[in-house]
Amino acid sequence: MARLGKQYSDGDVIFREGDTGTCMFVIQKGEVEVFVESDGHELILRKIGANDFFGEMALFEHETRTASARAVGPTHVLTIDKKNFLAGVHEDPSLAFRIVKTMSHRIRNLTDRLAKYEEDI
């Protein structure tokens, strides 16, 4: 039986900062690092695993990706475009709340990390 989605190997880049985003991703198996590059250095924003999602901002904004994502070890992900996302929200409105809750948590975490960084300078 064919499996939906795409398989990535360790270190494979799923998307790069600056790419145009048209979908979000759900990790079925494995782990993903989300990172940004600045002055030749990488800053890992988060590591996420199975059943988590990333790249969701592309569904809400018509902007380029603000970070890059790569597989950590063998990783299998599903892609969800805006049409399928909206159909899922129509079927289960709590899906939208869960996405917003996760996005809020991520913003709070990054804000806390930035504040700590500023204290250390």
- CATH superfamily name and code, 6-120: Jelly Rolls (2.60.120.10)
Q: Compute CA distances 98 → 47, 52, 58, whole Å.
A: 19, 11, 16
Position with higher pLDDT, 26 vs 3: 26
Helix (H) or strand (E) holding 45: strand 41-49
Which pLDDT score is estimated for 1? 45
User: Token digits for 18?
Assistant: 């600056």
Q: How far, in Å, CA of 54 to CA of 25, rounded? A: 5
Helical ranges in the chain per DSSP H: 57-60, 82-91, 94-120
First-residue to last-residue Cα distance in the chain: 54
pLDDT in tens, 69-108: 999 999 999 999 999 999 999 999 998 899 899 989 988 9
Is 121 in a helix, a strand, or coil?
coil
Q: What pLDDT sits at residue 3?
A: 57
DSSP state of 56: T
What does DSSP say about strands 23-38 and 41-49: parallel, antiparallel, or unpaired? Answer: antiparallel
- Give burial (CB, 10 Å; 0-12/13-18/19+) of 56: buried
